[in-house]
Homo-oligomer: A and B are copies of this chain.
């Protein structure tokens, strides 16, 4: 049953997460105070601590929000029925573009591993971007496109390379050019792994 109070509650929760995503993106986790977050959401700390156990939990909620949105747009790209290789390439392109959005860049790529701790981050990423990337790699192996290799490891390396590439693009003085270069470099790496 959908009561009135429940709707209000959900609404303020959303407002808190919205505010958190905004401020964490602009000022980072350490640079954002909870007073700012609740002020922007037009509530008080009482509301925040009613919905979340603390600052960390609020960050994880923001993390989940951003990642969920990202997964949606990425799966849309990947669920075409083209050749596995071409689909994978399209997915990589889409992911690099995602990494250039400030929200994703700051919260997911840069801060999450430190704020959540590497272990917790790794665990959470299983259900989000990294999980998607790993299944993509698995598909390529199954399709015989790239040589047999420990999928987990290869996916980790690729994930790291992609993040570094995206950061490079983002802080470049000529993002367009750097973007093309990064894409070409990644494609070259993949071609090097491809079976003849």
Chain A residues within CB distance 8 Å of chain B: 28, 30, 110-111, 113-114, 118-119, 122, 147, 149-150, 152-154, 156-165, 167-168, 171, 178, 181-182, 184-186, 188-189, 191-193
Contacts and interface: CB of A to CB of B under 8 A. Distances in A.
Contacts of A188: 147, 149, 193
Closest 8 A/B residue pairs (Cβ): A192-B192, A160-B164, A160-B160, A157-B161, A161-B161, A114-B114, A156-B168, A153-B185
A18 B118 CA distance: 24
Contacts of A192: 189, 191-193
Nearest to A162: B160
A150 B118 contact: no
Q: Is the interface of A mostly helix, strand, loop or mixed?
A: helix
A185 B167 contact: no
Nearest to A183: B153
A188 B189 CA distance: 10
- As for how many copies of this chain the complex holds, the number is 2
5 contacts: A28-B114, A147-B188, A149-B185, A153-B181, A191-B192
